[in-house]
Amino acid sequence: MLIKLAVSSCAQPGTGSERVTMEVLYKSTRSDDERITASMAVLKGMSQDGGLYVPTRIPRLEVPLTELARAGYREVAYQVLRIFLTDFTEEELRSCIDKAYDSKFDTEEPVVLRRGDRADFLELYHGPTIAFKDMALTLLPHLLTTAAARNGEDREIVILTATSGDTGKAAMAGFADVPRTRIMVFYPKNGVSALQEKQMVTQRGENTRVIGIYGNFDDAQTAVKEIFLDKKMQQALADKGYRFSSANSINIGRLVPQIVYYVYAYTRLLASGEIREGDKVNFAVPTGNFGNILAASYAKKIGLPIGMLICASNSNKVLYDFFSTGTYDRRREFLLTTSPSMDILVSSNLERLLYHASGDDTERTSRWMEALQKDGEYSVPDDVMDAMSDFAAGYATDEETAQEISRVFKETGCVLDPHTAVGSYVYRKYVAQTGDHTRTVVVSTASPYKFESAVLDALGEDTAALQKQDRGPERISELSGVPVPAAVSELRHLPVRHTITCEGTQKAMEKEVRRFLGLSLED
Ligand SMILES: *Cc1c(COP(=O)(O)O)cnc(C)c1O
């Protein structure tokens, strides 16, 4: 569908300016000094004080949801992007959107809302790397290059990315061979699925570099943030004509595109008559770094009628404990699970939620984040917990996740990936505990093909034998009736291009950054 909606309330003839939406500026969660445009926030990635950029004013959707129900994904995307990224022109945004959501996606619309028996599934894995990160990372490179041009940035942009498995590949797919950019990805060598690793180490593009670290995602993310903020590094970069940015969900340019599919899901339910205007919908979101579910809470803030946000974790249940007790405590064993993209103990984007929930209190937010870094924990008071009472939380162990994959397959014939199964399990548990039967959408974050071993195991298949014959994907296809995605079959023939590994420390990783960029190794 190519309907373009007029924003009638914004027509202001005679001003000579087509963008009359009130400007939204961005500031840090940790101080009030700096106020920058959306394009600068996209370009910078994160604030120099260590905080994350947040909008200084929360905009509202300007087109009624009933009207958006007649529009396609790209139009919904435009209507969401335009209220947050106010210094981009309409032409710029529409051009970015058109380049992002094209035939890279294997469905007519880039996302699909599939009806389930108890809840609906919002399939966000039809993009080039078959996980939901594609929803934002097919768009971010275009936003970033547009932002660079808009701000007269002539330095080459270096994207540093920590990945728990999916962001890295999706970011590289988006940035590979994009002129004037380079991208470097750090992934936990022993903490991703076989297919996730294969996807990354076969990445093409002269401007890409992939490093496996001997450490976990938290190590990678912490070191990347530190390298990012290191003054010496910045000087060395500037001298060589580079500038850092981020493709992690700390970048507002990642977050805003993720708000779109919540609005889209709601409008599909409206379009099919399953809900009426104003009806509330709950979302259950498999959660790791808290970016996806935070986008859902922004969707609520801009006017989407959302009831509860159900935060689903695996056995790394630091968020479940936080929402249950008000204490965030990362001092615990980091567990490797069958849902590796959620193996995270320091969920960066919670900082943004806390900032808003504390009444935009930069002082308290800074204190909590400092305590997290120094002592490994912090506790928030009741007023802040109360402001987050629309969040519910739960978790699923690996065993419960496998049972859920098996149950959903037996009952519906659908094969879920382990992350989605965590979301589905936690949702069912939530209903059993609360009796809340509000219509609910479970966010389906990855294709089952991406986590072949865990899925085949859960379905009681002889995984080892299937994989020995290289028949894993075909078996999933036979069971699910879904053809093997091109993203999976093409991997069989691609040569490995990246073999570097290093320790998961700032020092070792910084050395690799310096090598990649041709900076002196001495400093
Ligand atoms: C990244 C990821 C998640 C977690 O999303 P966050 O935004 O980090 O909370 C869940 N599932 C899959 C498949 C992912 O790739």
Q: pLDDT tens, 195-224?
A: 999 999 999 999 999 999 999 999 999 999
DSSP H helices in 46-193 = 65-68, 73-84, 90-100, 133-137, 140-150, 167-175
- Is residue 407 scored above 70 in pLDDT? yes
Atom 1 of ligand 1, nearest CA residue = 341
Q: How far apart are CA 476 and CA 453, in angstroms?
A: 10
| Helix/strand/coil for 287 | coil
**What is the signed CA dihedral for 39, 161, 100, 40, rounded to 10 degrees?**
0
List phi, psi (to 5°) of 156: -75, 135
Where does residue 335 rank: exposed (0-12), middle (13-18), buried (19+ CB within 10 A)? Answer: middle
Q: Say how many C-beta atoms besides its own lie within 10 A of residue 339's C-beta.
A: 30
216 lines ligand 1 (CB under 6 A): no
446 lines ligand 1 (CB under 6 A): yes
List phi, psi (to 5°) of 288: -130, -80
- The CA 126 to ligand 1 mean position distance, Å, reads 15
291 lines ligand 1 (CB under 6 A): yes
Residue-range domain boundaries for the chain: 259-459
133 lines ligand 1 (CB under 6 A): yes
**pLDDT grade for 13, boundaries at 50, 70 and 90:** very low
Q: Say how many C-beta atoms besides its own lie within 10 A of residue 171's C-beta.
A: 29
Residue 489 pLDDT:
94
Best mutation site among 123, 124, 130, 132 for ligand 1, i.e. most ligand atoms within 8 A of its Cβ? 132
Q: Which residues contact 483 (CB under 8 A, 6 or more apart)?
A: 477
Q: How far apart are CA 523 and CA 462, in angstroms?
A: 53
315 lines ligand 1 (CB under 6 A): no
- Is residue 163 scored above 50 in pLDDT? yes
Q: Say how many C-beta atoms besides its own lie within 10 A of residue 275's C-beta.
A: 19
List phi, psi (to 5°) of 509: -70, -35
| Helix/strand/coil for 460 | coil
- The CA 420 to ligand 1 mean position distance, Å, reads 10
Residue 521 pLDDT:
84
How does strand 26-28 pair with strand 53-55? antiparallel
What CATH fold (topology level) applies to the domain 259-459? Rossmann fold (3.40.50)
Write the pLDDT tens digit of every residue in 36-95. Answer: 999 999 999 999 999 999 999 999 999 999 999 999 999 999 999 999 999 999 999 999
CB 126 within 8 Å of CB 138: no
| Helix/strand/coil for 118 | coil
Instruction: Identify any residues that bridge with 108 across adjacent strands, giving them in sequence order.
Output: none
267 lines ligand 1 (CB under 6 A): no
Q: Say how many C-beta atoms besides its own lie within 10 A of residue 205's C-beta.
A: 16
Q: State the residue for tokens 């905009």.
A: 59
Residue 468 pLDDT:
95
Q: How many CA atoms lie within 13 A of 380 on its CB side?
A: 29
- The CA 133 to ligand 1 mean position distance, Å, reads 7
| Helix/strand/coil for 102 | coil
| Phi/psi-derived region of residue 379, left when phi > 0, alpha when psi is between -120 and 50, beta in every other case | beta
342 lines ligand 1 (CB under 6 A): yes
292 lines ligand 1 (CB under 6 A): yes
Residue 138 pLDDT:
96
Q: Say how many C-beta atoms besides its own lie within 10 A of residue 4's C-beta.
A: 10
Residue 69 pLDDT:
98
Residue 148 pLDDT:
96
Asked whether the whole model's pTM tops 0.75, one would answer yes
| Phi/psi-derived region of residue 415, left when phi > 0, alpha when psi is between -120 and 50, beta in every other case | beta
Nearest to 452 by CA among 422, 495, 414, 418: 418
286 lines ligand 1 (CB under 6 A): yes
Percent of the chain with pLDDT over 70: 96
Q: Say how many C-beta atoms besides its own lie within 10 A of residue 5's C-beta.
A: 16
| Helix/strand/coil for 360 | coil
Write the pLDDT tens digit of every residue in 249-308. Answer: 999 999 999 999 999 999 999 999 999 999 999 999 999 999 999 999 999 999 999 999
Kindly give the number of the ligand 1 atom that is closest to the alpha carbon of 164: 1
CB 391 within 8 Å of CB 323: yes
- Is residue 1 scored above 50 in pLDDT? no
Give the burial string for 16-54 (b: 16+ CB within 10 Å, else e): eeeeeeeebbbbbbbbeebebbbbbbbbbbbbeebbbbb
Write the pLDDT tens digit of every residue in 335-351. Answer: 999 999 999 999 999 99
Residue 14 pLDDT:
39
Give the burial string for 340-369 (b: 16+ CB within 10 Å, else e): bbbbbbbbbbbbbbbbbbbeebbebbbebb
Q: How far apart are CA 259 and CA 114, in angstroms?
A: 19
Nearest to 368 by CA among 346, 393, 351: 351
Compute CA distances 340 → 216, 289, 294, 345, 359, whole Å: 10, 12, 20, 12, 33
- Is residue 11 scored above 70 in pLDDT? no
341 lines ligand 1 (CB under 6 A): yes
217 lines ligand 1 (CB under 6 A): no
Compute CA distances 331 → 216, 225, 378, 470, whole Å: 14, 20, 11, 40
